[in-house]
Amino acid sequence: MGVLRIEPARAQTWAARSLEAIWRTYDLQLTIYALLLAAIGLAMAYSNSVESGAVVLESDSTFVRGLMWAGLAVVVFVLATAFDYSWFRTFAWPLYFVNLGLLGATLVIGDGVGGVARWVAIGPFQVQFSEIAKILMIIVLANYLGGRQGRLNGPLGILGACLLVAPPTALVLLQPDLGTSLVFVAILAGMLFLTGASLRWLGVLAAVAIAVVPIAWTYVLKDYQKQRLISFLYPQADPQGSGYQLLQSQISVGSGGLVGKGLTNGTQDRGNFLPVQTTDFVFAKLGEELGFIGAIVVFLLFTVLIWRILVAGWRAKDPFGLAMAAGLASMILFQFVVNVGMVIGVMPITGIPLPFVTHGGASLISVAFGLGILQSMNIRQTRAEW
């Protein structure tokens, strides 16, 4: 019986060709855009640490925590890229129940401010499982919609997707976290639209959602949530109360001018006039310190990042890949538009973070996880052609 031998030279050539093929299909642009946005987020964390009077390199400073989360996000991104994305289709249903378990655990053992339960303490870290739930929900929906390609012309397929999203959305609303629940809805709408669902039935779904708004307003939303939603219409009515956050945010953005006051030179932060400048309203701080030019750079980076995400979906050789990219692009676009909109006063304040830039580990890691899955798709699509 003959023995199969692989000559070392040929094995090395095959390995070199494999690495070359992987590198050729790896989307370097997507990675660069994400890293630049994360770097801007770290710059804002550094500025916050300096202006708060903290020692920048102390272990509990905003900047050091940001570095730790960024390092962990890089590890997650690399591992997700190396992992074969097709396995996520196999384990989609177990991931769905893990998702529900994490959100349920947040309600039981979670901590928060003002009687809410939004994060769980794990050692020195505070993890917001609802951020991770966004990516897990995208995976589950991508598996569901990908398996029904060409069969979304009727109401049943669309209704099934809605039923999948309903339980995690309800659990998030119970925390209560209106912003994240709206992100779930945006993910669902974007994925249905980009995967070819019937526009007629999507219109019906939108009409039903609008009809439910009065019911949600009366029986679901808390009083402080209602006040947040209406304060953007006329914040001057309560400048020291519900309108304070928005007014100070607008002052911060407007005072930045064309080129900004410079990093660490924001007067709104130094005077403690702008609340939550490290999280939901970090864009106001960015506008003050980096000005209109800095804001435009961030806008362009988000635009090209979302474009590369959609390109990965269009190049995918299976419906799961397209649906996965559609969900990630919808999530990032919705959060960007709403966060910037609420900072400048054209949208209600809903507590939605700005991806990459908002200081928060769970948000950064969840986006890194999603981008890693996309890169796994990119490099493995070529392997199928060998």
Whether the bond between 8 and the residue before it is cis, its omega within 30 degrees of 0, is no
Q: What is the C-alpha separation between 360 and 62, in angstroms, rounded?
A: 10
CB 183 within 8 A of CB 337: no
CB 177 within 8 A of CB 222: no
Backbone angles phi, psi at 125, to 5 degrees: -105, 150
pLDDT in tens, 123-148: 666 778 888 999 999 999 999 998 88
pLDDT in tens, 25-66: 889 999 999 999 999 999 988 888 786 666 677 777 788 888
As given in the structure block, the two tokens for residue 18 are 């494999």
Task: Provide DSSP, 125-184.
Answer: EEE-HHHHHHHHHHHHHHHHHHTTTT--SSHHHHHHHHHHHHHHHHHHHTTT-HHHHHHH
What average pLDDT does this structure show over 173-182?
Answer: 86
Relative orientation angle of helices 155-173 and 178-194, to the nearest 10 degrees: 160
Q: What is the C-alpha separation between 86 and 90, in angstroms, rounded?
A: 7
Name the region of 358 (left: φ>0; alpha: ψ -120 to 50; beta: rest).
beta
pLDDT score for 192: 93
Q: Strand pairing partners for 6?
A: none
CB 274 within 8 A of CB 52: no
As given in the structure block, the two tokens for residue 162 are 């809605």
Q: What is the C-alpha separation between 311 and 216, in angstroms, rounded?
A: 37
DSSP state of 120: E
Relative orientation angle of helices 155-173 and 199-219, to the nearest 10 degrees: 30
- Mean pLDDT score of the chain: 82
What average pLDDT does this structure show over 286-313?
Answer: 93
pLDDT score for 270: 62
Q: What is the C-alpha separation between 179 and 306, in angstroms, rounded?
A: 21
| Lowest-confidence pick of 95-99, 274-278, 310-314 | 274-278
As given in the structure block, the two tokens for residue 28 are 């370097």
pLDDT score for 384: 38
H or E element in which residue 372 lies: helix 361-383
CA 4 remoteness from chain centre: 49
Q: Is the predicted pLDDT of residue 379 greater than 80, yes or no?
A: yes
Give the closest residue to 193 by CA, choosing from 328, 88, 330: 330
CB 73 within 8 A of CB 124: no
CB 313 within 8 A of CB 380: no
Q: Strand pairing partners for 125?
A: 122
DSSP state of 358: S
Burial state string for 377-386 with b = 16 or more CB within 10 A and e = fewer than 16: bbbbbbeeee
CA 380 remoteness from chain centre: 24
